[in-house]
Structure 1
Amino acid sequence: AGWLARLRDELAGDPGWPERFARLDAALAARLASTAPLDPHLLAAWRRLDGSGGAVGVAALAGELGWSRRHLSVRFRREFGLPPKTVARLLRFERAYASLGRTLLTADAAVPDQAGWAERAARWGYYDQSHLIREFREFAGATPAALTAPGSHSSNPA
């Protein structure tokens, strides 16, 4: 069995949550200590993607590093488990999803948010409204409008 299967068995044998978390912390720290340091180019790429909320394109990111798009994608995926384009999509979605709560709060305020979904899509870095809706369906399983319905979003108090 691999280290993860052994860890799962050990965690199941621990008597309570404090012991499980201590074991998990120790196991993850040991795994991190035994890995090679992260390539500074990849760290810079990750930080650039995260800092832009997924708005920077892969071609631009590769150009900033002096790498080809393919080289960046292969190295990024090997290190982080996902290609940079997917990470950018997830970061963009995360920002848009988190903004739904602010949209709901604004709508409940005395001055409602008059922006339509197309305007919000542009604000959140999507090409158009249909792009926004496709991403929400893929990542959240519902459209943004459905998620803003009363009782459907974690930040929706109704």
Structure 2
Amino acid sequence: LAARLAATDPVDGRLLAAWRRLQGAGGAVSVAALADEVDWSRRHLAVRFRREFGLPPKTVARLLRFERAYASLGRTLDARPAAGPPAAGWAERAARWGYYDQSHLIREFQEFAGATPAALVRAGSHSSNPG
């Protein structure tokens, strides 16, 4: 493994910059903006990004956005009144977490977590829930 790693070329600085930008923005940056920042076309960025990291930048952005939203569920649980729903609505959270709307948030949760965010909160199945 060490020999194979030593024989590989370093990662292009523009790809690293795009990765860091995506990560720093929690996935809330468009592929078009990334491509502009590294002075490549969207297609070229997607091909190079996938070749280097195994996923296209749009998928990485979705995963980063989901990761941030999922981690925030723990705060949702902590902020929930003892009896009743969470204080802020899901549409407000969706916007805060970088989703277009509430249905977008729910679709992403169903795809990546297999349940809606509300179902995860109700079930107490979020990983930050100590109970």
The alignment's TM-score, normalised by the length of structure 1, stands at 0.76
Superposition deviation, residue 149 in structure 1: 1.4
Q: Tell me the residue number matched to 2:69.
A: 96
Q: How does 1:59-70 map to 2 (within 5 A)?
A: 59-70=32-43
Separation of aligned partners in 2, 1:31 and 1:141: 37
Runs (4+) of structure 1 exceeding 4 A deviation are none
Give the counterpart of 1:83 among 33, 56, 76.
Answer: 56
Matched letter for residue 109 of structure 2: F
Separation of aligned partners in 1, 2:34 and 2:106: 26
Superposition deviation, residue 32 in structure 1: 2.9
Q: Does 1:115 align with 2:88?
A: yes
Superposition deviation, residue 36 in structure 1: 1.2
Number of residue pairs aligned between Structure 1 and Structure 2: 129
Contact 2:81 2:87 in 1 (8 A): no
Contact 1:42 1:76 in 2 (8 A): yes
Q: Alignment partner of 2:5: what SS?
A: helix
| 1:10-48 deviation per Cα after TM superposition (whole angstroms, max 9, x unaligned) | xxxxxxxxxxxxxxxxx4x55433321010000000000
Structure 2 spans left out of the alignment, 5+ residues: none
Contact 1:93 1:135 in 2 (8 A): yes
Change (3 A) 1:151 1:45: same
Give the counterpart of 1:51 among 9, 24, 35.
Answer: 24
RMSD: 1.7
Superposition deviation, residue 108 in structure 1: 5.6
Q: Tell me the residue number matched to 1:3.
A: none
Q: How does 1:6-155 map to 2 (within 5 A)?
A: 27=1, 29-107=2-80, 114-155=87-128
| 1:47-83 deviation per Cα after TM superposition (whole angstroms, max 9, x unaligned) | 0000000001000110111110000000000000000
| 1:84-108 deviation per Cα after TM superposition (whole angstroms, max 9, x unaligned) | 0000000000000000011111226
The alignment's TM-score, normalised by the length of structure 2, stands at 0.91
Question: Among the aligned pairs, what percent are the same residue?
Answer: 81
Structure 1 spans left out of the alignment, 5+ residues: 1-26
Structure exhibiting the larger radius of gyration computed from Cα positions: 1
